[in-house]
Structure 1
Amino acid sequence: MMLNDRKLKILQAVIHSYITSAEPVGSRTIAKKYNLGVSSATIRNEMSDLEELGYLLQPHTSAGRIPSDKAYRLYVDNLMQIRKITEEERRKIKLSLLKEIREIEQVIQNAAKILSELTNCTSLAIAPQIKRSKLKRIQLIPIDEHKVLVVMVTDTGIVKNTVFRIENGVREEQLEKITNYLNSRLKGCSIEDISKNIDTEFVKDMYDLRDTIKDILPLINQSIDGMYEVDLFADGVTNIFNFPEYNDIARAKSFISFIENKESVVDMLLKSGFHDIEIIIGRENCYEEVSNCSLITATYSLNGKTIGKIGVIGPTRMDYSKVVSVVKSIAFDLNEILNYFIL
């Protein structure tokens, strides 16, 4: 059923009031706070209709009503006007993202931090999916006779540092020769194809170093395997306590436990899609632990490829207008900075 203009205005007023106060909203509150040109009795009747249509809920302990997930969905899709962020907020975003730009992970971590600060919600970000990233260079650096640092750098700015022990020992000049050979063979290969290119030909081509090569190749494969793990950044997890809905300690603990479960959070972020902006409300999320929350995410790209996601999660009563604006702004600046400094 399509809602008429009056019902839409009343529903929007209820949502605005509840987002601001966290208190169930009654018809008298709407009549006093919003100049809708109708009586409290008319508003009460319209709110009753909205409840029957599934847009409003009435908590058992209150005469007022609160928006349902259905109401929030209508609001963000059709009624919400995205609030512009302030110049001070924009400046803060830029300064934060420019703090550390040597490695892409640090840029993402900074973005998550500023996102939680500006929205007062918990921010989440997943670092680039790197299977299709290409190897820019590999470096084998001796630490001592038996320890080697393997440094792998991709074209998406990811740097993987791993220290390995070689029981038989290795000399610096040997590592330099192997490094040069590996770069000549592997540079430009996608990460997922490197293992396929590390074969017996390596041993044949560098027969004089065959014993060392046999020790080192498995270590490189281990380093590659470690790169496949998705990095998750979360910031402002305890911000959840700022919302009255989470004064219930058991409820807050359930939320925090979920956020600390990396596998579930990554799965949730990946399932939410890879659109420019995505809003998942309440029970639209498949995880029961966050069925009273909304997730707002945006993607970020490098060289035209979507490589990760960043966003916030918080109660369905969040200030969608502001949060969407901040998420969009950070994603935009993140894309700009990554493509300017990393490429």
Structure 2
Amino acid sequence: MKIDERKLKILQAIIHNYIINAEPIGSRTISKKYDLGVSPATIRNEMSDLEELGYLLQPHTSAGRIPSNKAYRLYVNGLVNNSHIDTKKGNKVDKKLIESIGQIEELIENSASILSKLTNYTSLAIAPQLKLSKIKHVQIVPVDEMRVLLVIVTESGMVKNTILRLDRSISKEQLNIISNLLTEKLKGKLIGHIGDVLQVKIIKDMYEFKDILESLIKNINKSVNSKESVELYSNGITKIFDFPEYNNIDRVKAFISFLENKDNVIEMLMNNGFNSMNNLAITIGEENSYEEIKNCSLITATYKVNGKTIGKIGVIGPTRMEYSKVIPLVQSISLDLSRILNKYFE
């Protein structure tokens, strides 16, 4: 059975009502509240069809219906395909972020705070700190005949040490030459862009050390993309208490306990898929991998520097989330972050 326009309008009315009120709704109430141009009996028949198709659930006998996860997915896909960003609201957010810029960590933390305040949901953001660091100095030091220690010092004073195993021995003098050239070429560059710079500019000039440079790229890429190099920011965790479906203390405990597990949250955010058109990712209810958030929806968007994705920001909350409000806000703040960070790293 196909969803025609009338069924779709009835379904949208039920979703809208449940997002606002968190209560099941019956055909008579729909007829009174929403001008659909059909009788309660017709609405009741259409609701039965929608329930049979899996778009509605009846939580109690003789009660009204509520949307299923399948209904939210249909609704959200329609929103994403037709969404647009409110430029006036986006400009206000942009100004708030620019006013707050100091350290990169502060900018991303403030972005999460603003997003939570604007949406009234729990916000989450991740940023690979190593990727966002600018290089000050590079040194390669011999450990033994076939191993060297790569030392990268960033402008913020962060030091990254990595042991590299070589396929051949290289003299201390040659390692110093490589170190000086790497410092000259990479100074002021983001660690996250080392691979591109080395492959394009340096390997050609130092082809005789191609094997070492390729090993260096591999190890740095592994380091900057690991969970250990990622910082997690969250805001508004207690906002979950505002929603009636979280009056259940066990459900609240499971939600908060999950968010306190940094590794799980980072893995969830890093593995959350992307919409190919706008880098937006939305998982609803049972689509989530973790049992603790099977009653939640997660909306995230990426932010970038020089076209490279360096982090994600988004919100998590009940499946009856105000998607029409949240989706444009998440998109807007992610774009603002990208714009500000690109200016910062010019």
Task: Note the C-alpha offset of 1:120.
Answer: 0.4
Report the CA distance shift for 1:253/1:183 in structure 2 as closer, same or farther (over 3 A): farther
- Could you tell me how far apart the structure 1 residues matched to 2:274 and 2:6 are? 35
The answer to whether the aligner puts 1:330 opposite 2:333 as a matched pair is yes
Residue 209 of structure 2 aligns with which residue?
none
Task: Note the C-alpha offset of 1:135.
Answer: 4.7
Flag structure 2 segments of 5+ consecutive residues without an equivalent.
Answer: 139-151, 160-177, 199-219
Task: Note the C-alpha offset of 1:191.
Answer: 4.7
Matches within 5 A, 1:1-343: 1-60=1-60, 63-78=63-78, 82=83, 85=86, 87=88, 89-128=89-128, 130=130, 135-138=134-137, 152-153=154-155, 159=156, 161=158, 185-186=182-183, 188=186, 191=191, 228-275=228-275, 276-343=279-346
RMSD: 3.4
What's the secondary structure of 1:231's corresponding residue? strand
Task: Note the C-alpha offset of 1:42.
Answer: 1.1
Amino acid of the structure 1 residue aligned with 2:316 = I
- Could you tell me how far apart the structure 2 residues matched to 1:237 and 1:183 are? 47
CA deviations over 1:117-174 (Å, ceiling 9, x no partner): 000011111103746x7752149xxxxxxxxxx9623xxxxx4547xxxxxxxxxxxx
- Could you tell me how far apart the structure 1 residues matched to 2:85 and 2:336 are? 15
What's the secondary structure of 2:230's corresponding residue? coil
- Could you tell me how far apart the structure 2 residues matched to 1:53 and 1:240 are? 31
CA contact under 8 A between 2:57 and 2:66: conserved in structure 1?
A: yes
Residue 212 of structure 1 aligns with which residue?
none
CA contact under 8 A between 2:135 and 2:190: conserved in structure 1?
A: no
Report the CA distance shift for 1:6/1:230 in structure 2 as closer, same or farther (over 3 A): same
CA deviations over 1:228-270 (Å, ceiling 9, x no partner): 5210101111111111111112111110111111111111111
Report the CA distance shift for 1:84/1:274 in structure 2 as closer, same or farther (over 3 A): closer
- Could you tell me how far apart the structure 2 residues matched to 1:340 and 1:237 are? 31
Task: Note the C-alpha offset of 1:61.
Answer: 6.7
Q: Tell which deviates more after alignment, 322-331 or 246-255.
A: 246-255
Report the CA distance shift for 1:25/1:38 in structure 2 as closer, same or farther (over 3 A): same
What's the secondary structure of 1:59's corresponding residue? coil
Superposition TM-score, scaled by structure 2 size: 0.73
CA deviations over 1:55-79 (Å, ceiling 9, x no partner): 0011127611110000000111126
CA contact under 8 A between 1:113 and 1:123: conserved in structure 2?
A: yes
CA deviations over 1:295-325 (Å, ceiling 9, x no partner): 1010100011111111111000010000001
Amino acid of the structure 2 residue aligned with 1:307 = I
Amino acid of the structure 2 residue aligned with 1:152 = T
Amino acid of the structure 2 residue aligned with 1:56 = L
Report the CA distance shift for 1:231/1:183 in structure 2 as closer, same or farther (over 3 A): farther
What's the secondary structure of 2:256's corresponding residue? helix
Report the CA distance shift for 1:311/1:38 in structure 2 as closer, same or farther (over 3 A): same
Flag structure 1 segments of 5+ consecutive residues without an equivalent.
Answer: 140-149, 154-158, 163-180, 198-220
CA deviations over 1:68-107 (Å, ceiling 9, x no partner): 00000011112676476484x4354123311343432221
- Could you tell me how far apart the structure 1 residues matched to 2:55 and 2:74 are? 9
Task: Note the C-alpha offset of 1:328.
Answer: 0.8
Superposition TM-score, scaled by structure 1 size: 0.74
Q: Tell which deviates more after alignment, 184-193 or 249-258.
A: 184-193
Report the CA distance shift for 1:10/1:341 in structure 2 as closer, same or farther (over 3 A): same
